[in-house]
Amino acid sequence: MKFMDKYFKARKDKGSVLCLGLDPALPDQRSKDTIEKIYCGDVSDCIQQFSMEMIEAAGEYACAVKINSQYTLFALNFKRLQMLTESIHNYGMLAILDHKLGDIGSSNDSAMYWMEKCHFDAFTFSPYAGNIREATEMAHERDLGIIVLDLMSNPEAEGFQKKCRFNKTPVYLRVAEDVATAGSDGVVVGATGHVKEKDISSVRKTIGEDRIMLFPGVGVQGGDIKKIKESGGRNILINVGRDIIYEKNPREKIVEYHKKMKI
């Protein structure tokens, strides 16, 4: 099944566009927003068990789970990642690897090989090597969805992705144009303050109605769900990570967000 077909099915079954962001940080990684529960085993066991608990909590409500590779790939081996994606699929959710892949073709293809083996449905891709079309063709050969970074949630993105120009076109809109012509599955657009309604609408108009817009930045970063729903169109995923996974009652928080993101 193609990625977009999987998305439509999951969205219909869950009645929501909620995407759970899995960014499992250990207590010695940073001062707050970390795994506090004590688990048996080593750090890999800790991250694995924590992630499985979050997937179970989200299973009835989320459309997708986005696993951040910066928090997991160095800690979890191939078999552990397979266990996570298997659990995600058992709950009828999409498994997205937030990897921000961006390299020459042979290296990209190697990464996609392992993503396919780990049974991910899609991955995020950095466009700045300029090979969006090639990467999209490679991804689709493996039935992987490719979601291209466009206008990110961090404030520094405004200075580069919005204000820099490519033949008078802002970089983020040039990326959106390439996504449309390459037939990629979607784009990542932040939900935070520097991303305005007109920016979201411009991206949607450029990529068309039949692609996904994945919105990080809701929750701890203060992203606006109302802005997304009014400007992003129907085919969206709204990611919430830290504001769910580090709550004392994650399921309760998931239910709260599910109600806000009903379709």
Tokens of 137: 């063709």
Reported pTM: 0.96
Query: What DSSP assignment string belongs to 59-121?
Result: TTT-SEEEEEHHHHTTT--HHHHHHHHHHHHHTT-EEEEEEEE---HHHHHHHHHHHHHTT-S
Residue 21 confidence class, pLDDT cut points 50, 70, 90? very high
Q: Quick one: average pLDDT of 35-62?
A: 95
Query: What DSSP assignment string belongs to the chain?
Result: --HHHHHHHHHHHHTB-EEEEE----TTT-SSS---S--SSSHHHHHHHHHHHHHHHHTTT-SEEEEEHHHHTTT--HHHHHHHHHHHHHTT-EEEEEEEE---HHHHHHHHHHHHHTT-SEEEE-GGGS-HHHHHHHHHHTT-EEEEEEE-SSTHHIIIIITSEETTEEHHHHHHHHHHHHT-SEEEE--STTS-HHHHHHHHHHH-TTSEEEEEEESTT---HHHHHHHS-SSEEEEE-HHHHTSSSHHHHHHHHHHHTB-
Residue 150 confidence class, pLDDT cut points 50, 70, 90? very high
Q: Residues near 233 by Cβ (< 8 Å), separated by ≥ 6?
A: 204, 209, 213
Q: Quick one: average pLDDT of 233-257?
A: 96
Q: Quick one: average pLDDT of 186-195?
A: 91
Nearest CA to 35 out of 44, 26, 45, 22 is that of 26
Q: What angle is formed at CA 236 by the lines to CA 83 and CA 18, rounded to 5 degrees? A: 50
Q: Residues near 45 by Cβ (< 8 Å), separated by ≥ 6?
A: 39
Average pLDDT, the chain: 94
Among 23-37, 53-67, 87-101, the minimum mean pLDDT is found in: 23-37
pLDDT value of position 247: 95
Nearest CA to 245 out of 13, 83, 10, 37 is that of 37
**pLDDT at 160 > cutoff 80:** no
Residue 183's region, left for phi above 0, alpha for psi from -120 to 50, else beta, is left
pLDDT value of position 153: 86
Domains of the chain by range and CATH?
3-260 (3.20.20.70)
pLDDT value of position 220: 79
User: Rounded distance, CA 76 to CA 68, Å?
Assistant: 12
- The per-residue pLDDT for range 107-135, each reduced to its tens digit, is 999 999 999 999 999 999 999 899 999 99
Residue 226 confidence class, pLDDT cut points 50, 70, 90? very high
pLDDT value of position 197: 94
Among 21-30, 175-184, 187-196, the minimum mean pLDDT is found in: 187-196
pLDDT value of position 235: 98
Residue 192 confidence class, pLDDT cut points 50, 70, 90? confident
Q: Quick one: average pLDDT of 127-154?
A: 96
Residue 212 confidence class, pLDDT cut points 50, 70, 90? very high
